[in-house]
C-alpha cells in the first residue's frame, strides 16, 4: 500500500471539506493506493454524528464521494465532478469505532463518464454503506490549464497508476 501525495497542498484557495488538512470543520481524509483501489482509514469523531453515536448519513456520503474523486485523480490522472451518486445505507456506522475504511475503485469508463464503486466499512470490516458515483471527468489538458491539476503521485514518486 502506497500513500498518495495530496496534489493540492499549498494551492491558493484550497480548503476542501473532504481532504484539506487545514480545514478545521473538514474530515481531513488521506489516501493510499492498494492495487486497483484507493483507500482511506478515517477516524470518526462525535462532532460528525447524527443520531447518538451514529455517523451522520451526509458525512458518510462525503467520505464516499471524496474517495471516488481521489480514485479518479490517482487512477486516471485527471479530475472531474460528481454528476450522480447512489447510496445504500446497509447498517449504522458508529462514531465509537476506532477507525473506518473507505475504498473506491473504477467500475466503468465510457469516454469521460466514469463510474466509481465505493464502500465504507466499520473497523470489523463489515460493509456499512455502499455508493456508486458517476463522474464527468475533464481532459488532462483542461485539468491542468483550468484547474491546475498536474497529476497525482504516490510518496515514492510514482505518477502513472499501477493498473
Where do we find the cell 473497523? 123
Where do we find the cell 462532532? 47
Rounded to two decimals, the pTM is 0.93
Q: Is the pLDDT of residue 163 over 60?
A: no
Q: Could you report the per-residue pLDDT of 45-91, keeping only the tens digit for each?
A: 999 999 999 999 999 999 999 999 999 999 999 999 999 999 999 99
DSSP line for 1-15 = -EEBP-TTTT-TT--
Q: Could you report the per-residue pLDDT of 78-110, keeping only the tens digit for each?
A: 999 999 999 999 999 999 999 999 999 999 999
Mean local confidence (pLDDT), 100-122: 98
Q: Could you report the per-residue pLDDT of 134-158, keeping only the tens digit for each?
A: 999 999 999 888 888 889 999 887 7
Neighbours of 116 (CB within 10 A): 28
Q: Which domains can be identified in the chain, with CATH numbers?
A: 2-147 (3.10.129.10)
Cβ atoms 95, 55 nearer than 8 A: yes
Q: How far is CA 48 from CA 55, 59, 140, in A?
A: 6, 7, 35
Q: Could you report the per-residue pLDDT of 3-54, keeping only the tens digit for each?
A: 999 999 988 999 999 999 999 999 999 999 999 999 999 999 999 999 999 9
CA distance 71 to 118: 9
Looking at the chain, which runs of residues are DSSP E strands?
2-3, 32-34, 37-42, 80-89, 100-110, 113-121, 127-137
Cβ atoms 73, 7 nearer than 8 A: yes
What's residue 159's pLDDT?
65
CA torsion through residues 10, 14, 18, 24, sign = positive
CA distance 19 to 25: 11
What's residue 101's pLDDT?
98
Amino acid at each position: 500500500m502506497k500513500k498518495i501525495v495530496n496534489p493540492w497542498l499549498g494551492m491558493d484557495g484550497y480548503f476542501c471539506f473532504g481532504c484539506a488538512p487545514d480545514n478545521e470543520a473538514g474530515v481531513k481524509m488521506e489516501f493510499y493506493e492498494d492495487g486497483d483501489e484507493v483507500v482511506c482509514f478515517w477516524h470518526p469523531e462525535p462532532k460528525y454524528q447524527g443520531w447518538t453515536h451514529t455517523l451522520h448519513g451526509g458525512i458518510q456520503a462525503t467520505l464516499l464521494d471524496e474517495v471516488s474523486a481521489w480514485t479518479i485523480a490517482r487512477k486516471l490522472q485527471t479530475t472531474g465532478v460528481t454528476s450522480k451518486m447512489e447510496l445504500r445505507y446497509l447498517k449504522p456506522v458508529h462514531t465509537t469505532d476506532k477507525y473506518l475504511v473507505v475504498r473506491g475503485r473504477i467500475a466503468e469508463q465510457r469516454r469521460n463518464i466514469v463510474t466509481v464503486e465505493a464502500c465504507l466499512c466499520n473497523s470489523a470490516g463489515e460493509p456499512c454503506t455502499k455508493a456508486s458515483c458517476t463522474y464527468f471527468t475533464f481532459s488532462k489538458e483542461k485539468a491542468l490549464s483550468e484547474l491546475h491539476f498536474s497529476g497525482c503521485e504516490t510518496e515514492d514518486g510514482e505518477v502513472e497508476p499501477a493498473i
